[in-house]
Structure 1
Amino acid sequence: MFKNYFKIALRNIFRHKAYSAINIIGLSIGMAASIFILLWVSNEKSYDRFHEKASKIYRITADAGNDFKAAVSPAPMPPFLQQTIPAITNTVRLNDRLTTVLQSGDKKFEEKNGFFVDSSFFQVFSFPVVSGNVAQALTRPDAILLSEALAVKYFGNENAVGKVLRLNNVSDVYVSAVFKNVPANSHLQFDYLRPMLAIAASHQDLKEEKWDNFNFYGYIQLNDNFKATDASLATLTKQINDIYKSKVDDTNFKINFQLQPLTDIHLYSKLQIDLPGHGNGQYVNIFFGVAIFILIVACINFMNLATARSARRAKEVGLRKVVGAGRRQLVLQFLGESVMIAFFSLMIAILLVWLALPGFNSLAGKELAINLFDGKLITFLIGIALFTGLVAGSYPALYLSGFKPVRVLKGSIKSVGANLVLRNGLVITQFVLSIVLLVGTIVVYRQLNYIKTMNLGFDKSNLVYMPMKGEIWNKQDAYKTLLKTNPLTADYAITNDVPTNLSSGTINVRWEGKEPGKQVVIPTLQVDEGFFDVFQMQMLSGRGFSKEFKGDTSSFVINEKMAGLMGLNAATAVGKTITLWDVPGTVIGVVKDFNFKPVQTRIEPLIMNLNTWGGIAVVRIQPGKTEATLKALNDIHASLNPAFPFTYNFLDQDLDNQYKGEQRVGSLFNLFAILAIFISCLGLYGLSAYMTEQRSKEIGVRKVLGASVFNVVYLLSQKFTKLIIIAIIIAIPLSWYMISNWLNGFAYRVEIGWAVFVLASVAAVFIAWLTVSYESIKAAIANPVKSIKAE
């Protein structure tokens, strides 16, 4: 029986090549797109789940109010919690990412991806160590642990353990262990580690056990018996907050600590002072929905074409029933055919995924792979094929198997109009989904372009910056003199940080009229006299810092938001007193608000004081002189700091990198929207071709009676146009709701005007007309005599 079904299915596939090709191509592209999306979604959800104790590890985060939520905690907190709370079996701290110059022989490189960590690091996290004693690797202050890639970079194929590296051209460190390269699906990305002992005697937070400074990433590991219910976690959080309050003297310092699950950090961490590279849980949900949309659109194509062509197989159904076939057997036959087509499509889809995966990885910034020997993956792919085949073939199977044999053999089944309501509903559903994706594509493009081009309050172009390091720290006067005397580098400023994502903030700020007990975390920035000119910022009132005023060391420049927080405006704020870190000073100027954090964050109050210690040199390059300026900067660096390699970054590139994740998501969204629309058009084309074929005699008669080509095309297109208009009416409010939710994640966003929906609607109608017009025009210009004579 099954052999017979298989033969019939193959015969039908090869007999109706065009119909089969449309179905298989549509399903193949739909499946390939869904596989790509599901691989991406699976990768995003896999972050940090490879750790053996992943479900027991939490990060301590801080909520200081005023929408200031940070990923950092005080240095002494994790070890003290372990000593005090029995449920906590282990803890580990990480200091902010390191930038270090390492040298082995003539190999010298600046490495920017390392951490200082506690000796318990490998007890909490399951990063495999390939050589060296993991228990002792972090117990010596002069140790360093390298990734496999870094070990090969400095020592080739030799065993790196026990080898010596020169650190910052000052001291030697020995390689105590080599660990496997960190997986891409880890929120912690590092190439080397140093023991926390190396800074224990010099770092103020560690040396003095400061509970009011927040400079460390703290993780706790709960014991195996701890049941992580909402109630138990709330109790544990209360214990942590009570301990903190007992350690801080300032009763006005109000802060609440929370526990963030390790496996939530990548997708659900919208915290300040966090590590870079996080994903977005909203995007994962959106793309999972898009994958389902695309599969539904592909399935609708199959169902539409199968039900439209039902009359072609009506007599076959009638004859089978006459000779004894039951409805169950017919349902199995038609479902078998659809599942077979789905599996053909799956094989083509796998081939498409394999061929296009490198390009997709480049677009998505991932390292995804499809392993056909992976049992879980094979089961998953087979599941997709079965699901698609059964869903796509279910209605046609039930519909075709329900034909009455007597009516079929008498010719009572109409070839056109049968099950018209269903087919119209399916076409409308397809285009509702396509229009929603089309609106999404337009708005995503506009929002990302708005982010890229919006006015940040300063001119970000042609700004290059170099961190002061090595011997330059002790030669700052000479460094500034060389910068000033060279015309190419004379337009420079010194700041403690570039205003792209400021992470420093304090609540130790007072001013006249401040409400008692009011706690606000206020970012700070230390800048020199040239800062406002180099960044081309607008001073609304007062002045910037100047060498002509010796008292500027105790003066402040604030932004508009800070003036507003004080209950003042730009004009009235100048001359007022602010006490920062218990040191009073006078406001000498108010600068126009500028973005110093990513645009997902609204502009916050900012206090700037005079930089007297150094940090980062920023130079504005003259147009067309980038190469010459970089050479001049390199020469200056080489003359003062020959032991350190010259490194630099462009400010505008840093800003672009902040939104690389959104740009990638936007590109993926555009790609899948185009594929969904293409699949919809493919089905519409197949349906229009079939409908045109069914009405060929009617068209011939109309032409004989004088109908023009336009009349015929209009006749064949008007039905589909009505369906598209209904789809537009449904899609507009749906797309508005969905895209509004996405835009709510941005502090600065484009407005969704009516033009977006008009453009998407016109595009949908135009695409539908273009799709239908080919077959319509071909039928309209055909010789009517042939169509009328044809049987």
Structure 2
Amino acid sequence: MFKNYLKIAFRNLQRHKAYSFLNIAGLAIGMACSIFILLWVQNELSYDRFHKNADHLYRLTASVEDFKAAVSPAGMAAGLQSELPEIESAMRISKPATVLFETGDRKFEERNVLYVDANFLQVFSFRLVKGNRSTALQQANGILITENIAKKYFGDQNPIGKILRKDNQENVVVAGVLANAPSNSHLQFDIVAPMSAIATTNYDIKNSTWGNFDFYTYIQLKKSAAATNANLLGLAAHINNIFQKHNNSLKVAFHLQPLTSIHLHSDLQIDLPGNGNILYVNIFFAVAIFILAVACINFMNLATARSARRAKEVGLRKVVGASRVQVMLQFLGESLLISFVSLCLAVVIVWLLLPAFNHLAEKNLSLHLLDSHMLLTLAAIAFCTGLLSGSYPAIFLSGFTPATVLKGKLKPGTGNLLFRNGLVITQFVVSIVLLAGTAVVYKQLNFIKDKNLGFNKSNLLYINMTGDLWSKQQALKSELQQNPYTSDYTVVSDLPANLTTGTVDVQWEGKDSRQQIVVPSIDIDEHFMDVFQMKMLAGRSFSSAFAGDTSNYVVNEKALAMMGMNVDEAVGKNISFADRKGTIIGVVKDFNFKPLQYAIDPLVLRLNRYGGIVVVRARAGATEATIHALEQISHELNPAYPFTYHFLDKDLDNQYKGEQQMGSIFNLFAILAVFISCLGLYGLSAFMAEQRTKEIGVRKVLGASVFNIVYLLSGSFTKLIVVAMVIAVPVSYVAIHHWLNSFAYRVDVSWIFFVVACVAALVIALLTVSYESIKAAIANPVKNLRTE
């Protein structure tokens, strides 16, 4: 029996080639899209799960009122472990540092160096390729390098025991080689060094401070400590109490963030770069389901529309004794066959296009067909798709009464028109929602790119003070000033791009003693306002003509609002910032110094007394000459360090890399979803035109024009698209608002987005339907009527 079903299924595929092609192509593209998305989603959900102790590892985070940060003080790791028996071990990781390393003629600045506690390899399961796991981080002058770095510095030589010169000051020894950090790890590094290497120079480490939040603290709970929500909340309360014993001046709430939640659930400031967003995972998972559903709808629509062609077959089978269940199994078998053929084609599509998708998503995804879990997943997708797409046609076709169909009294489409119309509407609801989403994503990303941040970000390039530049600042400024290409410069402590410094130690007259607001600061010089082209609203900026400016401050509008002042009265008011009393001498117009996901915070600007980053505004058309001039100055004053420079606008664009990738992927799959819908609509329109051949011939003989015929065949589909518009607009409005809420600054959701999406869907649908309609309308009516 099964062999017979299979034989009939293959014969039907061969007999109706166009119908089979549309079904297989639609399902294959839908499956391929879903596989791509599911590979991406699986990768996003897999972050940090490769660690042996992943279920028992947590990161300590802190919040002060609305300010939530991923960092904690240096003294907390050891302090908490000594007081809380539930903790198996605790360790700290520094913020990524930039360090110069040299061996022989190879010298590079490594921008991804982490300083970690000695138990780093015991807490985390990063693979050590060479070296002793238990002792690799015990020596203060020992370092761990990744395989890429080992190749970069030592080629094919064994790097263990090799010497690297660090910052032109000291030698370090390669104590181990780590496998390159897995792409699904929130911790990304090139070189790992022991915390003891900076223990004598770092104030916070040396004094085990409980006030400066500069380190990422990870806690491993004992397996006996059940990680329930109640227990974690209780443990966090104990941590808060311990912190208050060491620092009662700060009202901080600490939380334990599961390691496996860091990548997708971190809306924290001062976090490590590269985190994802659970919202995007949910969006793409829904898109994968919708695209597969659209492909299944195509199958159901075409199968039910062509029901009359299979009616006599069903009647004959029932007459010779086939039960309804047997007929249902036959049609389900056909749909499963088509589904598995489509799966094979989809796998080929994914295999061919995966490199391009990886480039688009900046991932390293792979399709492991020999993996049993992957094979089961793919088989489950094909089985569910076949079952879903074939279920209604099987139920519908198997319900035909033999006497009725054998007498030829069954009218095409009778009894299933409403269902087919509902499926078409569903397809285009999905398509319109995705098109509207595409328009808004494009608009929002352009808004971010073009938004006025409160300063002119174009043509700004910068170099970090390294090596001898710290001790030659006066000579550096003199060289910069004398060169016409670099004379428009400023020296700042931090870039106004993603500011991570701040304090609650701000005092002013009339302040509520219970108020604790984290206020960031930037140290600037007298050229800052001119170079960044910012606007002063009152008073003045810092000037070399005023020696007392070392104790003066410039604040932004938000800071004035925080202190209950207005622009006209602020200048001359006394404030204290980080225990340093001073006077407000100016008010600068608000500008964005954090990504646009965050609203502008209060900001205090201080006179720069230490150095940090040199920012130069290049003249239009003279960028290359400015870079060359900076390179000459750097080589002259700092010959031991390689010259490196960066553009501020590129750094700002990189802050929204995740959104840009999401937008590109979303646009791609939205287009494919519309294409799959049109594929089914084309098949449906072709079949409807074929069924009405005689009617069209009669109408043309009686004088109907081509336009009349096209309108006749397209009108029913147009009505369905209009119904889809009515449903899709409120659905897309809610979904779009949900996404835009993740941005503090966002575009207004205008009606034009929905009009464009609806008109686009209507035009695409009409173009799809019109081809077959026009083809039927211009056919010779005499020939059509004669063949009847």
SS at match of 1:627: helix
Q: In 2, Cα distance between the equivalents of 1:583 and 1:266?
A: 38
Letter in 1 for 2:603: L
Q: Which residue of structure 2 lines up, in the alignment, with residue 76 of structure 1?
A: 75
Q: Which structure 2 residues correspond to residues 184-263 of structure 1 after superposition, within 5 A?
A: 184-250=183-249, 253-263=250-260
Q: Which residue of structure 2 lines up, in the alignment, with residue 132 of structure 1?
A: 131
Relative to structure 1, the CA distance from residue 501 to residue 96 in structure 2 (aligned partners, 3 Å threshold; closer, same or farther) is same
Instruction: Verify: 1:339 aligned to 2:336, yes or no.
Output: yes
SS at match of 2:472: helix
Q: Which residue of structure 2 lines up, in the alignment, with residue 57 of structure 1?
A: 57
Q: Which residue of structure 2 lines up, in the alignment, with residue 684 of structure 1?
A: 681
Q: Which residue of structure 2 lines up, in the alignment, with residue 33 of structure 1?
A: 33
Q: In 1, Cα distance between the equivalents of 2:757 and 2:180?
A: 46
Q: Which residue of structure 2 lines up, in the alignment, with residue 546 of structure 1?
A: 543
Q: In 2, Cα distance between the equivalents of 1:92 and 1:331?
A: 62
Letter in 1 for 2:475: A
Q: In 2, Cα distance between the equivalents of 1:458 and 1:570?
A: 20
Instruction: Verify: 1:364 aligned to 2:361, yes or no.
Output: yes
Q: Which residue of structure 2 lines up, in the alignment, with residue 42 of structure 1?
A: 42
Q: In 1, Cα distance between the equivalents of 2:685 and 2:256?
A: 58
1:541-581 per-position Cα deviation (integer Å, ceiling 9, x unaligned): 11110001111101100001001111112221111111011
In structure 1, the gaps of 5 or more residues are none
Letter in 2 for 1:562: A
Shift of 1:417: 3.9
Shift of 1:32: 0.2
Letter in 1 for 2:747: V
SS at match of 1:739: helix
Q: Which residue of structure 1 lines up, in the alignment, with residue 381 of structure 2?
A: 384
Q: In 2, Cα distance between the equivalents of 1:582 and 1:402?
A: 85
Instruction: Verify: 1:484 aligned to 2:477, yes or no.
Output: no
SS at match of 1:102: strand
Instruction: Verify: 1:771 aligned to 2:768, yes or no.
Output: yes
Q: In 2, Cα distance between the equivalents of 1:34 and 1:148?
A: 34
Q: Is the 8 A contact 2:57 2:258 kept in 1?
A: yes
Q: In 1, Cα distance between the equivalents of 2:255 and 2:115?
A: 23
Q: Is the 8 A contact 2:30 2:295 kept in 1?
A: yes
1:130-176 per-position Cα deviation (integer Å, ceiling 9, x unaligned): 11112111111111110011011111111101000010111100001
Q: In 2, Cα distance between the equivalents of 1:515 and 1:242?
A: 24
Q: Which residue of structure 2 lines up, in the alignment, with residue 23 of structure 1?
A: 23
SS at match of 2:533: coil
Q: Which residue of structure 2 lines up, in the alignment, with residue 86 of structure 1?
A: 85
Q: 1:305 aligns with which of 275, 297, 302?
A: 302
Q: Is the 8 A contact 1:308 1:418 kept in 2?
A: no
Q: Is the 8 A contact 1:211 1:247 kept in 2?
A: yes
Q: Which residue of structure 1 lines up, in the alignment, with residue 105 of structure 2?
A: 106
Q: Which residue of structure 2 lines up, in the alignment, with residue 147 of structure 1?
A: 146
Q: Is the 8 A contact 1:372 1:378 kept in 2?
A: yes
Q: In 2, Cα distance between the equivalents of 1:416 and 1:613?
A: 81
Q: 2:399 aligns with which of 385, 397, 402?
A: 402
Instruction: Verify: 1:639 aligned to 2:636, yes or no.
Output: yes
1:721-744 per-position Cα deviation (integer Å, ceiling 9, x unaligned): 000000000000011011110100
Q: Which residue of structure 2 lines up, in the alignment, with residue 754 of structure 1?
A: 751
Q: In 2, Cα distance between the equivalents of 1:305 and 1:21?
A: 12
Instruction: Verify: 1:7 aligned to 2:4, yes or no.
Output: no
Q: Which residue of structure 2 lines up, in the alignment, with residue 587 of structure 1?
A: 584
Shift of 1:517: 1.7
Q: Is the 8 A contact 1:509 1:578 kept in 2?
A: yes
Q: Is the 8 A contact 2:307 2:413 kept in 1?
A: no
SS at match of 1:505: coil
SS at match of 1:172: strand
Q: Is the 8 A contact 1:416 1:694 kept in 2?
A: no
SS at match of 1:506: coil
Q: In 1, Cα distance between the equivalents of 2:248 and 2:49?
A: 39
> What's the Cα RMSD here?
0.7
SS at match of 2:245: helix
Q: In 2, Cα distance between the equivalents of 1:429 and 1:148?
A: 51
Q: Which structure 2 residues correspond to residues 681-720 of structure 1 after superposition, within 5 A?
A: 681-720=678-717
Q: In 2, Cα distance between the equivalents of 1:325 and 1:82?
A: 74
Letter in 2 for 1:228: A
Q: Is the 8 A contact 2:93 2:215 kept in 1?
A: yes
Q: Which residue of structure 2 lines up, in the alignment, with residue 275 of structure 1?
A: 272
Q: Is the 8 A contact 2:304 2:413 kept in 1?
A: no
- TM-score, normalised relative to structure 2: 1.00
Q: In 2, Cα distance between the equivalents of 1:450 and 1:733?
A: 23
Q: Is the 8 A contact 2:459 2:619 kept in 1?
A: yes
1:394-449 per-position Cα deviation (integer Å, ceiling 9, x unaligned): 00001111111011111121114441010000000100111110110001100111
Shift of 1:758: 1.0
Letter in 2 for 1:736: Y
Q: In 1, Cα distance between the equivalents of 2:700 and 2:305?
A: 25
Query: Percent identical across equivalent pairs?
Result: 61
Letter in 2 for 1:22: L
Q: In 1, Cα distance between the equivalents of 2:481 and 2:490?
A: 10
SS at match of 1:474: coil
SS at match of 1:730: helix
Q: 1:266 aligns with which of 263, 268, 287?
A: 263
Q: In 2, Cα distance between the equivalents of 1:664 and 1:492?
A: 34
Q: In 1, Cα distance between the equivalents of 2:635 and 2:70?
A: 38
1:356-390 per-position Cα deviation (integer Å, ceiling 9, x unaligned): 10110011010001111111101100110001000
SS at match of 2:355: helix
Q: In 2, Cα distance between the equivalents of 1:361 and 1:152?
A: 24
Letter in 1 for 2:690: E
Instruction: Verify: 1:474 aligned to 2:476, yes or no.
Output: no
Q: In 2, Cα distance between the equivalents of 1:402 and 1:178?
A: 68
Q: In 2, Cα distance between the equivalents of 1:174 and 1:207?
A: 23
Q: Which structure 2 residues correspond to residues 482-521 of structure 1 after superposition, within 5 A?
A: 482-521=479-518
Shift of 1:536: 0.3
1:445-489 per-position Cα deviation (integer Å, ceiling 9, x unaligned): 001110010000000000001010101111110011000000000
Q: In 1, Cα distance between the equivalents of 2:732 and 2:85?
A: 51
Q: In 2, Cα distance between the equivalents of 1:299 and 1:214?
A: 53
Q: Which structure 2 residues correspond to residues 717-728 of structure 1 after superposition, within 5 A?
A: 717-728=714-725
SS at match of 1:81: helix
Q: Is the 8 A contact 1:129 1:180 kept in 2?
A: yes
Q: Which runs of 4+ in 1 moved over 2 A?
A: none
Q: Which residue of structure 1 lines up, in the alignment, with residue 162 of structure 2?
A: 163
- TM-score, normalised relative to structure 1: 0.99
1:7-65 per-position Cα deviation (integer Å, ceiling 9, x unaligned): 10000001000000000000000000000000000000000000000010000000011
SS at match of 1:600: coil
In structure 2, the gaps of 5 or more residues are none
Q: Which structure 2 residues correspond to residues 559-574 of structure 1 after superposition, within 5 A?
A: 559-574=556-571
SS at match of 1:466: strand
Shift of 1:249: 4.0
Letter in 2 for 1:585: G
Q: In 2, Cα distance between the equivalents of 1:606 and 1:222?
A: 38
1:701-727 per-position Cα deviation (integer Å, ceiling 9, x unaligned): 000000000000000011000000000
Q: In 1, Cα distance between the equivalents of 2:776 and 2:131?
A: 77
Q: In 1, Cα distance between the equivalents of 2:582 and 2:83?
A: 42
Q: In 1, Cα distance between the equivalents of 2:30 and 2:299?
A: 12
